[in-house]
Structure 1
C-alpha cells in the first residue's frame, strides 16, 4: 500500500464527482455514497428485480434492515469505497447504480461489487462505475480486485470479461465463481 495519495485518490463525502454520458445519451452523476444516502439506497435496493437482488446479494433481500442500509452508507473511505450513479427520474434524483469495494487487512486486495438498476442496464453504466472504482483502487496502491458471483450471472461474466477480470471456480461453492483483476498495470478508460 502506498503512503502517498494523489488528489484523485482522495474519496470522501464531497469528492470526487464525475458526470458520465451513457451510450443512450443519458447523463448521470457518479459520486461517493454517504450517510445522507440511506433513504435513496433503500429505495434503490427495493426497486431492483428479485433476480437483480439475488445476483447482487447472492441471495434474496426484499426489505433491507436499517443495520444493513447503515453498513452500505456509512463508509470509512479509508479501507472501503462506495460510488453511486444518480440520475433524474420523474423529476427526482435517484440512485441507478452502485459500485463498491472493501479492502482486506493487508490493504493490497479488495472485494468489489456492482449493481445497476434493471432499467439502466445495457447502457454502459456498470462499466463506467467499475472504471472509476478500479482507478481509485489503483491510486490507493491496491494490487488485486476480486468479486464473487453466481456462475449463472451472464451479465457479470460479460462485464468482468470486458474489464479484463480472470475467472475461476469458487473452491468453496460450485454455484459461484471468483473474478480477479491484477491492478498493477491495468489501464482504465476512466
Structure 2
C-alpha cells in the first residue's frame, strides 16, 4: 500500500500524516496520536467489542480508567509511539484504529500493539498502521519489535505472519503467543 508522507522530518512527527486507501477503496487519515485525541481514544475503546478489548488489553474491562488513558496518551515519539487512524463519520472525526509501541529498558526492542474497530477489520487497516509503526521503530534504531497476544487472537497471528514476524508460545503462559520481528539487518 503506497503512502504519501507529509514533508516534516521523522524526528518532528507533529505534522506527519498519510492518507491510506484501504482494500475496499475507503480512505483513512493516519497520523501521530495527539493530546487532542484523548476523548477519541476513550470513545474508540468504549466502542470495541468485549472480545476486541480483551485481545488488546489481555483482560476484561468495560471502560478505560483515567489512569490507563493517561498511560495510553503518554507518547514522546521515541520511546513511546502511537499512530491513530481517523475517518469522518456523521460530521465528526472518529478513531477507527491505532498502533503503538513502547521501548523496553534495554532500549533495543519495543513491544507493539495494534487495534482496529470491529467494523473496520479486514480492510487492510491493521497492515497500514503496523507498517508506519515498524518504519518509525527502524528510524529510531530499534533492533526488535514484539507483541504478546492471546493464542485465540487468530487475526493478530495472521497479521504478524503477513508482516514477517516469527511466533512462538509464551513460555510463561500457554494461552499467549509472542510475535517477534527483527528490525535491523545484522552488521
TM-score, length of structure 2 as denominator length: 0.92
Q: Distance in 1 between matches of 2:74 and 2:153?
A: 28
CA contact (8 A) 1:86 1:95 kept: yes
Q: Distance in 2 between matches of 1:109 and 1:11?
A: 21
Structure 2: runs of 5+ lacking an equivalent: 1-7
Moved over 4 A (4+): none
2:92 matched residue in structure 1:
92
**Structure 1, residues 117-149: CA drift from partner, whole Å, max 9, x if none?**
000000000000000000000011101000000
2:67 matched residue in structure 1:
67
1:10 matched residue in structure 2:
11
2:26 maps to 1:51: no
Q: Distance in 2 between matches of 1:130 and 1:11?
A: 19
Q: Distance in 1 between matches of 2:86 and 2:11?
A: 20
TM-score, length of structure 1 as denominator length: 0.90
SS where residue 175 of structure 1 aligns? strand
Structure 1: runs of 5+ lacking an equivalent: 1-6, 186-190
Q: Distance in 2 between matches of 1:123 and 1:11?
A: 29
2:37 maps to 1:37: yes
What CA RMSD, in Å, does the superposition of the two structures yield over aligned residues? 1.2
Deviation, 1:70, is 1.3
2:178 maps to 1:158: no
Deviation, 1:9, is 3.0
Q: Distance in 2 between matches of 1:49 and 1:81?
A: 24
Q: Distance in 2 between matches of 1:135 and 1:15?
A: 16
1:21 matched residue in structure 2:
21
Deviation, 1:184, is 1.1
Q: How many residues align?
A: 178
2:128 maps to 1:134: no
Classify 1:67/1:24 alpha carbon distance in 2 versus 1 (closer, same or farther; 3 Å).
Answer: same
Which fold has the larger relative contact order, with Cα–Cα distance below 8 Å and residues 6 or more apart in sequence? 1
Deviation, 1:183, is 0.6
